[in-house]
Homo-oligomer: A and B are copies of this chain.
Amino acid sequence: MPQPSTTTKTTLSEPSAMPDVQSRADHRDLAIDRVGVTGIRFPATLAVRDSQDNNTMATVATVNMFVALSAERKGTHMSRFLELLNEYRDGLSPDRVMELCRHIRDELDAERAHVELSFPYFISKQAPATKREGLMDYEATIICESTSTLDDVRLGVTVPATSLCPCSREISEYGAHNQRCLIRAEARFTETVWIEELVEYAEQSASCPVYSVLKRPDEKVVTEQAYDNPKFVEDIVRDLATLLEADKRITWFHARSENHESIHSHNAWAEITRHTGPENDLNA
């Protein structure tokens, strides 16, 4: 993993003899939990699982970056966040987000730093019958926090899928209402978990996955698969929680689904959050 260059401190030193208002003392005796910058869009580069050639995928992340500010300091140096981020302008990769996070903690002289990335992630997927290829996009997040004693990472992904209502199916002569749902799987882990694995867990928990390209033979498969596999929003999160709990690498998870009910204008929602490994102070 590339190391922050030793000249970085020099780079970030303030460029002039102008008054440094931010560095003045503050007398309100109030530490700030988080101060930083939000809503930055930035290129990101991601490793692709199972790639024979160490392929990467390019995407665009929305980035938020924060530090804790001690009570005695008037302000943080906001421009440094951007200067540090800019060192990754050829594409910030997920495995370097924690490096950036530590880098920020260092350069902004803070007890704690926090970086959030959210970005579309693409997976090529074959239709179930015709095997036609199509690109699916999933919204993924990486949240890193770094203190002097602990590094904490959370990986998450939101997966569109089909849910079909067991009650509607059972009480109706024919048909059953179904709809798009957005399943969210988020995890902390001790060994690498791939975004693709979280996507698979979420899709296994739905009535049926969704696809980009579906020809008629495929449409028949997904229609019948959803009907054969009815799930309440409660079933989806319980099945997802069961899969995440069984994965020994995972020490904490959040399982959630929001179903865009086709018979209502409101949504159905369920969520389960659990520690499944040893807790630490940032997990708590």
Stretch of A103-111, A143-151, A186-194, A220-228 contacting B (4+ beta carbons < 8 Å): A220-228
Q: Do A32 and B234 touch (CB < 8 A)? A: yes
A177-B223, A234-B69, A269-B66 in contact; A210/B264 too (CB < 8 A)? yes
Identical subunits present: 4
Give the interface centre of A33, A59, A237 by most chain B CB atoms within 10 Å: A33
How many of A's residues come within 8 Å of B, CB to CB? 109
Bound-complex Cα distance A134 to B84 (A):
10
A33-B271, A39-B266 in contact; A16/B175 too (CB < 8 A)? no
Check: A52 CB closer than 8 A to any chain B CB: no
Stretch of A1-9, A94-102, A163-171 contacting B (4+ beta carbons < 8 Å): A163-171
A19-B170, A36-B269 in contact; A215/B74 too (CB < 8 A)? no
Q: Do B38 and A266 touch (CB < 8 A)? A: yes
What's the minimum C-beta distance from A129 to chain B, rounded to whole angstroms? 8
A212 partner residues in chain B, CB cutoff 8 A: 40, 82, 86, 264-266
Q: Do A176 and B223 touch (CB < 8 A)? A: yes
Partner of A64, one of B82, B134, B269: B269
Bound-complex Cα distance A28 to B234 (A):
11
Check: A173 CB closer than 8 A to any chain B CB: yes
Bound-complex Cα distance A227 to B262 (A):
13
Check: A75 CB closer than 8 A to any chain B CB: yes
